[in-house]
């Protein structure tokens, strides 16, 4: 299936010890786990396994001729100034900027949009190798303090510090070992030494808690979730009930007496705005495509509808702006629509004109009449619009436009098609290619997917994918399979729990469409995905190894029987189920990548069928989807397919790329992103026999 003339045949895979005595009983079903020893990242034997795999992968990458050219071109295109939308606090503006190849974006502050900006916080100065990153931040209401969270080597663990903005001095207050938290300021800007414990719940250690202060500073909100489903409880506390502010609770063991407005996990409730006791929420309660509702805290049982659920489009977000207005974004067939509506009534006021693509940031608060809107698409690196709502018709102008030197969007074409899945469901897919390509099946093709956790894959610009399309003649595709949020909560549920197999059927159908319409052919087709998308890739190569020439699986959830036992894995049971439950175990064992590696030549008449060339990518500091998932699958695939037979038909390589000082993906320095892209796509090019085009 791949051009392997330059690679050793067969590859000399490292020997990994199998412990066949490790067998677990799942509800009467005996399941072997011979590589369970790979779950201990600190064991010497595991470190040796990783070192040997790194050597093997490096030896393969060194023989991928396009690696240096890919690295050079991707680096060249990355080297351009990038900006994020500014945001205002008090009399100051803040924004992120990267000059091009800086490892991390730098935070700037300025007194007005026209005044000279100065560096407020440069994460690049915090580590020599650029692996210290800014995870989260919040500026106090008076713009005197910056609270910011630092992550090292891509870890989900964060250390929060506080800086005085005027002199950039860092306060001694530090919060350590924080994970999955935002930062919110009360309006009195007290230091940590004067803080109190607001809430704890030792009876529910797996619950997640998020606290926030309303924009008017009057209420503390407590969001409680038990997993990754878009459902939550919501409690509130009226800070005016403390006659002396927080002082009356200072140094006491009392928790804040929160009022339980929503005390069950039946829907999502997200506060958009409040006028005193009247709160407006974005919710999916009896509205899988979401709607806006309102309740007065004085009459908590009386809810009214502000903006009803759309029949076709998903209400993606709502932002209160300009006093009594809303900017709402809808997702319509995976394309964004922006509207201005009345906050009180929900009535439509204006359409905000945007191109086909993604609104990835709306920067404004209720007091702001000027809104910044960040837009991107497959062929638009980023445009930041400045929208003035003080005029009768919103005044929309370009505030900043990101330009990539050498990129000419007129060379490319984007189309959206709808693929019929196994059960007849129409699956949207974007196809990006050079203009006027011939549909003769000759093109390398990269198909990307995710399909889980209510997450939508919408159009965005990618330097590395543009390089593939321009210089390897590749076709790049995104399949918006079920499990995501592209069509609301029904679409999500149609690809989760007992319905998870729909995700794989959808992705396989997308691949078959690309072959049948002449975009590519199986030996020229590579599939890619990360995290839950890594699971997608792992399951699909097990189920249809004949359909793909290459597979790139990033930080995937591969052991579906034990994922809930590590770090935050227990939260994913809302999407996957859990092997502790007998019924759910039988869902999971059917598609778990680790437990379904088979020798395809033994099960099909065509004895030449083998697994596609596969690269499993993971990182030593990934404390979300821990490396054991990729390591155990890597050892299993190499053994079952490559080393357990004296003359195995599996000639396509099975390798693992294991990065150091990296995590699940967030916070990676620019050079690491470039190096990884060059590695995985040069491997893809070699395996698909894709030729370089200058």
**Considering just the CA atoms, what is the radius of gyration of the chain in Å?**
26
What's the pLDDT score for residue 5? 43
Share of the chain above pLDDT 70, in %: 96
CA gap 27, 676 in Å, rounded: 41
Q: Would you place residue 499 in the very low, low, confident or very high pLDDT band (cuts 50, 70, 90)?
A: very high
What's the pLDDT score for residue 252? 55
592 is a catalytic site residue: no
Structure token pair of residue 408 = 């000419």
509 is a catalytic site residue: no
Task: Find the catalytic residue in 531, 592, 662, 682.
Answer: 531
**pLDDT tens readout for residues 539-569:** 999 999 999 999 999 999 999 999 999 999 9
Element containing residue 29 per DSSP (H, E): strand 29-32
Task: Find the catalytic residue in 156, 559, 575, 622.
Answer: 622
What's the pLDDT score for residue 2? 41
**pLDDT tens readout for residues 401-441:** 999 999 999 999 999 999 999 999 999 999 999 998 999 99
CA gap 465, 431 in Å, rounded: 12
Task: Find the catalytic residue in 621, 664, 675, 682.
Answer: 664
Mean pLDDT of 277-295: 98
What's the pLDDT score for residue 606? 82
Which of left, alpha, beta for 674 (phi over 0: left; psi -120 to 50: alpha)? alpha
**Residue ranges of E strands in 541-644:** 550-554, 613-619
CA gap 274, 343 in Å, rounded: 10
What's the pLDDT score for residue 241? 82
Share of the chain above pLDDT 90, in %: 89
**pLDDT tens readout for residues 4-16:** 444 656 689 999 9
Question: Order of strands, edge to edge, in the sheet holding 303-307?
Answer: 269-275, 278-283, 291-296, 303-307
CA gap 98, 107 in Å, rounded: 9
Comparing CA positions, the residue from 336, 332, 320, 322 lying closest to residue 375 is 336
Comparing CA positions, the residue from 183, 172, 98, 94 lying closest to residue 136 is 183
**pLDDT tens readout for residues 665-694:** 888 899 999 999 999 999 999 999 999 999
Average pLDDT of the residues of the chain = 94
Could you give the count of Cα atoms lying within 13 Å of 667 in the half-sphere of its Cβ?
Answer: 28
3-class DSSP assignment, residue 563:
helix
pLDDT at 251 over 60: no
**pLDDT tens readout for residues 347-385:** 999 999 999 999 999 999 999 999 999 999 999 999 999
**pLDDT tens readout for residues 306-326:** 999 999 999 999 999 999 999
Q: Would you place residue 3 in the very low, low, confident or very high pLDDT band (cuts 50, 70, 90)?
A: very low
Alpha carbon of 208 to those of 222, 570, 571: distances in Å?
A: 10, 11, 9
**Residue ranges of E strands in 276-324:** 278-283, 291-296, 303-307, 314-321
Structure token pair of residue 48 = 């040796």
3-class DSSP assignment, residue 233:
strand
pLDDT at 194 over 50: yes
Report how many helices (DSSP H) and strands (DSSP E) the chain contains, helices first: 10, 36
Taking the model in full, what pTM does it have? 0.96
Q: Would you place residue 245 in the very low, low, confident or very high pLDDT band (cuts 50, 70, 90)?
A: low
**pLDDT tens readout for residues 465-486:** 999 999 999 999 999 999 999 9
Mean pLDDT of 620-638: 95
Structure token pair of residue 437 = 């390509």
Comparing CA positions, the residue from 531, 549, 527, 523 lying closest to residue 540 is 527
Contacts 24+ apart (CB under 8 A), 235-243: 235/259, 235/260, 235/261, 235/262, 235/263, 236/261, 236/297, 237/198, 239/186
618 vs 240 pLDDT, higher one: 618
320 vs 608 pLDDT, higher one: 320
What's the pLDDT score for residue 173? 86
Structure token pair of residue 661 = 């000082």
pLDDT at 89 over 60: yes
Ordered DSSP codes for 126-173 = S-TTS-EEEEEEEE-TTS-EEEEEEEETT-SEEEEEEEETTTTEEEEE
**pLDDT tens readout for residues 412-422:** 999 999 999 99
pLDDT at 242 over 70: yes
Q: Would you place residue 233 in the very low, low, confident or very high pLDDT band (cuts 50, 70, 90)?
A: very high
CA gap 123, 322 in Å, rounded: 33
pLDDT at 497 over 90: yes
Query: In the block, which residue shows the tokens 């509130």?
Result: 236
Bridge partners (DSSP) of residue 145 are 164
pLDDT at 622 over 70: yes
CA gap 622, 626 in Å, rounded: 5
What's the pLDDT score for residue 666? 85
Range of lowest pLDDT (181-190, 274-283, 450-459) = 181-190
**pLDDT tens readout for residues 27-56:** 999 999 999 999 999 999 999 999 999 999
pLDDT at 193 over 70: no
Comparing CA positions, the residue from 508, 596, 506 lying closest to residue 558 is 596
**pLDDT tens readout for residues 116-161:** 999 999 999 999 999 999 999 999 999 999 999 999 998 999 999 9
CA gap 503, 480 in Å, rounded: 10
Alpha carbon of 465 to those of 179, 380, 461, 462, 620: distances in Å?
A: 32, 13, 8, 5, 26
Name every residue whose Cβ is closer than 8 Å to that of residue 377 and which is 6 or more positions away in sequence.
355, 356, 357, 358, 414, 459, 460, 461
Structure token pair of residue 13 = 């895979």
CA gap 558, 562 in Å, rounded: 9
Mean pLDDT of 600-611: 89
pLDDT at 573 over 90: yes
pLDDT at 628 over 60: yes
> Contact, 551 vs 526, CB < 8 A?
yes
Mean pLDDT of 85-92: 96
Alpha carbon of 377 to those of 257, 368, 381: distances in Å?
A: 46, 26, 7
Distance linking the first and last C-alpha atoms of the chain: 26
What's the pLDDT score for residue 4? 44
622 is a catalytic site residue: yes
Bridge partners (DSSP) of residue 583 are none
CA gap 157, 426 in Å, rounded: 40
What's the pLDDT score for residue 246? 56
Comparing CA positions, the residue from 422, 482, 487, 493 lying closest to residue 449 is 482
């Amino acid at each position: 299936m791949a051009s392997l003339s330059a690679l050793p045949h067969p590859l000399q895979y490292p020997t990994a010890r199998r412990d066949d005595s490790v067998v677990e009983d799942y509800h009467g079903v005996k399941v072997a786990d011979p590589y369970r020893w790979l779950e201990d990242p600190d064991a010497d034997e595991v470190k040796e396994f990783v070192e040997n795999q790194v050597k093997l992968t490096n030896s393969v990458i060194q023989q991928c001729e396009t690696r240096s050219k890919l690295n050079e071109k991707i680096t060249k295109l990355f080297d351009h100034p990038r900006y994020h939308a500014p945001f205002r606090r008090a009399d100051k503006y803040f924004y992120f900027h990267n000059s091009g190849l800086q490892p991390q974006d730098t935070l700037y502050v300025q007194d007005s949009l026209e005044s000279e900006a100065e560096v407020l916080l440069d994460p690049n100065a915090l580590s020599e190798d650029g692996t210290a990153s800014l995870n989260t931040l919040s500026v106090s209401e008076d713009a005197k303090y910056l609270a910011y969270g630092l992550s090292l080597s891509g870890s989900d663990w964060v250390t929060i510090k506080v800086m005085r903005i005027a002199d950039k001095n860092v306060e001694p207050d530090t919060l350590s070992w924080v994970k999955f938290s935002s930062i919110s300021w009360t309006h009195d800007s007290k230091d940590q030494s004067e803080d109190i414990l607001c809430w704890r719940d030792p009876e529910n250690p797996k619950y997640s808690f998020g606290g926030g202060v309303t924009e008017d500073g009057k209420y503390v909100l407590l969001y409680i979730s038990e997993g990754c489903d878009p459902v939550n409880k919501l409690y509130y506390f009226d800070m005016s009930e403390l006659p002396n502010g927080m002082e009356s609770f200072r140094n006491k063991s009392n928790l804040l007496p929160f009022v339980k407005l929503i005390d069950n996990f039946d829907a999502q409730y997200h506060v958009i705005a409040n006028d005193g006791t009247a709160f407006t929420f974005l919710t999916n309660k009896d509205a899988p495509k979401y709607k806006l509702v309102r309740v007065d805290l004085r009459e908590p049982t009386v809810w009214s509808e502000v903006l009803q659920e759309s029949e076709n489009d998903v209400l993606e977000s709502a932002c209160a702006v300009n006093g009594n207005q809303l900017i709402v974004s809808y997702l319509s067939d995976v394309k964004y629509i922006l509207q201005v509506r009345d906050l009180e009534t929900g009535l439509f006021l204006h359409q905000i004109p945007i191109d086909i693509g993604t609104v990835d940031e709306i920067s404004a608060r209720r007091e702001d009449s000027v809104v910044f809107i960040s837009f991107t698409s497959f062929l638009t690196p980023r445009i930041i619009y400045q929208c003035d709502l003080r005029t009768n018709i919103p005044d929309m102008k370009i505030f900043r436009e990101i330009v990539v030197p050498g990129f000419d969007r007129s060379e490319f074409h984007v189309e959206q098609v709808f693929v019929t899945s196994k059960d007849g469901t129409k699956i949207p897919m974007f196809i990006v290619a050079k203009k006027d390509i011939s549909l003769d099946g000759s093109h390398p093709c990269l198909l990307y997917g995710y399909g889980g956790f209510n997450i939508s894959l919408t159009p965005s610009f990618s330097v590395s994918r543009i390089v593939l399309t321009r210089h390897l003649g590749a076709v790049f595709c995104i399949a918006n399979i079920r499990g995501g949020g592209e069509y609301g909560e029904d679409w999500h549920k149609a690809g989760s729990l007992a319905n998870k197999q729909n995700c794989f059927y959808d992705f396989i159908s997308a691949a078959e469409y690309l072959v049948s319409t002449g975009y590519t052919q199986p030996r020229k087709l590579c599939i890619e995905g990360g995290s839950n998308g890594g699971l997608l890739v792992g399951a699909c190569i097990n189920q249809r190894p004949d359909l793909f020439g290459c597979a790139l699986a990033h930080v995937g959830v591969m052991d579906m029987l034990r994922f809930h036992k590590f770090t935050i894995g227990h939260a994913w049971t809302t999407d996957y189920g859990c092997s502790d439950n007998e019924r759910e175990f039988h869902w999971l064992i059917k598609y778990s990548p680790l437990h379904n590696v088979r020798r395809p030549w033994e099960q099909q008449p065509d004895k030449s069928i083998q697994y596609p060339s596969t690269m499993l990518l993971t990182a030593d500091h990934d404390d979300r989807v821990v490396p054991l998932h990729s390591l155990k699958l890597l050892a299993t695939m190499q053994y079952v397919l490559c080393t357990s037979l004296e003359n195995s038909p599996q000639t396509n390589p099975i390798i693992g790329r294991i990065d150091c000082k990296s995590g699940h993906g967030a916070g990676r320095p620019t050079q690491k992103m470039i190096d990884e892209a060059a590695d995985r796509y040069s491997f893809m090019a070699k395996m698909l026999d894709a030729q370089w085009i200058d």
